[in-house]
Structure 1
Amino acid sequence: MEYPEFPARIDHTVLGPETTVSDVYRVLDEAEEFGMNACIPHCYVTEATEYAPSVRLVTVVGFPHGQTSTESKVQAATTAARRGADEIDVVANIGRLKAGEDDAVRQEISEIVAGVTVPVKVIVEAALLSDAERDRLSELVVEADADYLKTSTGFAPVDGETGATIPDVEAMSEYLPVKASGGIGSYEEALAFVEAGAERIGASSGKRSRPNIGARPISSDQLR
């Protein structure tokens, strides 16, 4: 991949519980400088769109556990889109999936998708799922007409794993475009995920230079 194409694949992210509006402005500045998207908390969408209207803005719904009500998720998604969010990353209800409530999982995602005109990525939290559950959820997301699958919130560690793995991305990319996020710590690792089928990479706050290219630095302090 040519370097100029890579930043546009990054959703430059700040989603921690202590995130302030100043943190959001910093991430927006970096995203604008390096040609990335920005992924920020729902509560800062209005400020973000006013501050950096040229940056493609992603926000999260049902984050990080996915267990708010369907009505709350739909309202949050529609409100974010109305306030200027360009994409919605929504956390699936993993508890309902594990309980075998597939119809409820599918219906919830369908209602969110139907409520907005912007792309919807569904976070499956793959580290918490068996391969069979991951594939079943991927099928439900396709049936619900969402646009992307996303590996992880980055907040659900299991045996040291918090998110993306190459096997998960390879499997999920058979269903929909994939956003890989969680534990990707370098440009080389990020590129490996792209080569495995990821269309987007989640990246946490900060900046790190892309090695061995002698060009502009690529953003990310820790690609997530």
Structure 2
Amino acid sequence: MNRDEFAASIDHTVLGPETTWADVKTVLDEAADNGLNACIPPCYVAEAADYRNAPETIATVVGFPHGQHAPKAKRDEAVRAWDHGADEIDIVINVGRLKAGEDDVVAAELSDVVAAVPIPVKVIIETALLTDEEKRRACEAAVAADADMVKTSTGFADGGAVVADVELMSEYLPVKASGGVGSYKEAAAMLDAGATRIGASSGVAIVEGHPESGA
């Protein structure tokens, strides 16, 4: 994978609770200047879509970070994000519903969101909170909902992306490995394991580690 292809696989991310518009502008500039995507809070999507130096792809989050919003709230949040210019949606599943065995409820909620927006939907399953059996059920729910990708983590639970989880999840859908990926070596390991996208707050440092970047 050459440097440009590698950069295009990275979602340069800022999602902390204290994120300001100035923080988002910095991430947008860094993403645009380095060929990365950006993943930003939903409250800033409209401004980001109109920003003079916006990257080609702007992703945002829905039901973030715990996934416990009412299903209609998630659907409305996704539609609002699309209306405001988001190119992709990363939605958090309801982990409690999944753990209770309510897989049909999880899948129905995801299906409603996927049907409501004409843009790719990535399903965050929060691997650190799940057993392998639950990870498989979460991925099956994402498949049943016709989601585009599954994503490992929000970055707000203990633990993040690990190679074993990426390998498991890639049996079902393309994978976004997110949470704790901070270097080119770590990102490359996730891609080698089957990920097609990387989510990281250190996207610039990661791409600067690519052999063609001269770092």
TM-score of the two chains, using structure 2 as the length reference: 0.95
1:192 aligned residue: 189
1:210 aligned residue: 208
* Alignment check: 8 A CA contact 1:138 1:149 kept: yes
2:123 aligned residue: 122
1:175 aligned residue: 172
How far apart, in 1, do the equivalents of 2:209 and 2:42 lie? Answer: 33
How far apart, in 1, do the equivalents of 2:130 and 2:65 lie? Answer: 15
2:10 aligned residue: 10
How far apart, in 1, do the equivalents of 2:84 and 2:13 lie? Answer: 19
- Tell me how far 1:203 sits from its aligned partner: 1.4
- Provide closer, same or farther for how the CA distance between residues 205 and 190 of structure 1 changes in structure 2, counting only shifts above 3 A: closer
Gaps of 5+ in 1: 218-224
- Provide closer, same or farther for how the CA distance between residues 153 and 171 of structure 1 changes in structure 2, counting only shifts above 3 A: same
- Following TM superposition, where does structure 1 have runs of at least 4 consecutive aligned residues deviating by more than 4 angstroms? none
- Provide closer, same or farther for how the CA distance between residues 98 and 210 of structure 1 changes in structure 2, counting only shifts above 3 A: same
Alpha-carbon deviations, 1:50-71, whole Å to 9, x = none?
1045531000000000000000
1:221 aligned residue: none
* Alignment check: 8 A CA contact 2:36 2:55 kept: no
Alpha-carbon deviations, 1:163-214, whole Å to 9, x = none?
1010100010000000000111210110010010000000105742634736
How far apart, in 2, do the equivalents of 1:99 and 1:54 lie? Answer: 40
Gaps of 5+ in 2: none
* Alignment check: 8 A CA contact 1:28 1:55 kept: no
1:153 aligned residue: 154
- Provide closer, same or farther for how the CA distance between residues 69 and 63 of structure 1 changes in structure 2, counting only shifts above 3 A: same
1:222 aligned residue: none
2:139 aligned residue: 138
Q: In terms of mean alpha carbon deviation, does 128-137 or 205-214 score higher?
A: 205-214
Higher helix share: 2
How far apart, in 2, do the equivalents of 1:63 and 1:212 lie? Answer: 31
How far apart, in 1, do the equivalents of 2:96 and 2:214 lie? Answer: 43
Alpha-carbon deviations, 1:2-58, whole Å to 9, x = none?
222111000000000000000000000000000010000000000100104553100
The answer to whether 1:70 aligns with 2:71 is yes
Higher-RCO chain (CA-CA 8 Å, sequence separation at least 6): 2
Alpha-carbon deviations, 1:97-134, whole Å to 9, x = none?
00111111010000000000000000000000000000
1:59 aligned residue: 60
* Alignment check: 8 A CA contact 2:182 2:202 kept: no
Secondary structure of 1:88's match?
strand
How far apart, in 1, do the equivalents of 2:95 and 2:110 lie? Answer: 12
How far apart, in 1, do the equivalents of 2:194 and 2:210 lie? Answer: 23
1:23 aligned residue: 23
* Alignment check: 8 A CA contact 2:32 2:54 kept: no
* Alignment check: 8 A CA contact 2:58 2:87 kept: yes
Number of equivalences: 213
Identical aligned pairs, as a percentage? 60
* Alignment check: 8 A CA contact 2:63 2:91 kept: yes
TM-score of the two chains, using structure 1 as the length reference: 0.91
